[in-house]
């Protein structure tokens, strides 16, 4: 059975959304992966179908109820082999390494938080792994879930031609991508760097490596420090 994302959300109509077009959308139509969006509200039990309530101890906003979310998770019938994620700005930052693991497995359950948060007891009782896609706050987990799913889907067998599948090598070697150019040869008076049209493949590779290192040092000192510790004999580019 194909890789599957099971998404628990209060807004199932958001899916597949942008995952229904382009690379992911073509792969979805081809049966290379599946998406199942399930409405958390379908597990509400009271007359008003309420899914949230005010935070214990006071404070702003609303909290997703533990009983309703637990029932929604249980109703999804997720086996123990599937990771159970909760999209949250409090989560561990998503990395390409985690994306690779998730893409290799059967596909995750993804809970999309809303409101000010989710009752901690359901996070603990159902073993939810909190995942963040960055240090900024979205209005809900749905767009974060789409980002995670997109990152996984492009790695699935048959989704990308073999050409682009090495694109992660740049990230898995811990450096940012080097700059790219294509025609026209002259754009607003600026030529393509001469090395790239020289036909000297060794020089091209060395130039790209140096550009990657300079970009990484300038923009991402966190990545540059790790790359320098991994690699033997790396020099610090001056910018
Ligand atoms: N929900 C709201 N903000 C988020 C973020 N940055 N990452 C994951 N889920 C979120």
pLDDT 10s digits, 95-144: 999 999 999 999 999 999 986 899 999 999 999 999 999 999 999 999 99
Does residue 231 surpass a pLDDT of 80?
A: no
Q: H/E element holding 47?
A: none
Burial class (CB in 10 A: 0-12, 13-18, 19+), 135: exposed
Determine, yes or no, domain membership for 11: yes
**ipTM value greater than 0.90:** yes
CA–centroid distance, 233 to ligand 1, in Å, is 38
Determine, yes or no, domain membership for 206: yes
Domain count, the chain: 2
Instruction: Read off the pTM.
Output: 0.95
Are 147 and 33 members of one domain? yes
- Give me the percent of the chain exceeding a pLDDT of 90: 88
Determine, yes or no, domain membership for 118: yes
Q: DSSP string spanning 95-164?
A: -HHHHHHHHHSS--EEEE--TTEE-HHHHHHTT-EEEESSSS--SSSHHHHHHHHHHHHTTSTTTS-TTG
Are 63 and 126 members of one domain? yes
CA–centroid distance, 137 to ligand 1, in Å, is 6
Rounded to whole angstroms, the Cα distance separating 34 from 27 reads 9
Are 121 and 203 members of one domain? no
Q: Which residues contact 46 (CB under 8 A, 6 or more apart)?
A: none
Kindly state if the Cβ of 136 falls inside 6 Å of ligand 1: yes
Are 20 and 91 members of one domain? yes
77: left (phi > 0), else alpha (psi -120 to 50), else beta?
left
Are 47 and 126 members of one domain? yes
Which residue is closest in CA terms to ligand 1's atom 4?
Answer: 89
CA–centroid distance, 200 to ligand 1, in Å, is 45
Sign of the C-alpha dihedral computed for residues 22, 155, 36 and 30 taken in this order: positive
Question: In ligand 1, which atom is closest to the CA atom of 113?
Answer: 1
pLDDT tens across 43-58, in order? 999 999 999 999 999 9
Does residue 239 surpass a pLDDT of 60?
A: no
């Amino acid at each position: 059975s194909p890789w599957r994302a099971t998404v628990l959300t209060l807004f199932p109509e958001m899916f597949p959304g942008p995952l229904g077009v382009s690379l992911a959308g073509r792969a979805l139509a081809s049966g290379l992966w599946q998406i199942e969006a399930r409405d958390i509200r379908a597990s509400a039990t009271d007359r008003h179908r309420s899914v949230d309530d005010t935070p214990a101890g006071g404070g702003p906003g609303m909290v997703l109820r533990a009983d309703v979310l637990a029932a929604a998770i249980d109703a999804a019938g997720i086996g123990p082999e599937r990771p159970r994620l909760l999209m949250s700005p409090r989560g561990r930052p998503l990395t390409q390494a985690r994306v690779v693991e998730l893409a290799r497995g059967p596909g995750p359950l993804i809970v999309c938080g809303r409101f000010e948060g989710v009752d901690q007891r359901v996070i603990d009782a159902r073993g939810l792994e909190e995942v963040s896609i960055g240090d900024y706050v979205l209005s809900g987990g749905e767009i974060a879930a789409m980002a995670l799913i997109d990152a996984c889907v492009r790695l699935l067998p048959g989704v990308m031609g073999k050409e682009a599948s090495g694109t992660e090598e740049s990230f898995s070697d811990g450096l940012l991508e080097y700059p790219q150019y294509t025609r026209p040869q002259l754009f607003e008076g600026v030529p393509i760097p001469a090395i790239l049209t020289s036909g000297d493949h060794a020089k091209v590779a060395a130039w790209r490596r140096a550009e990657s290192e300079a970009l990484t040092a300038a923009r991402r000192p966190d990545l540059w420090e790790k790359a320098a510790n991994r690699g033997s004999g790396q020099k610090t580019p001056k910018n």
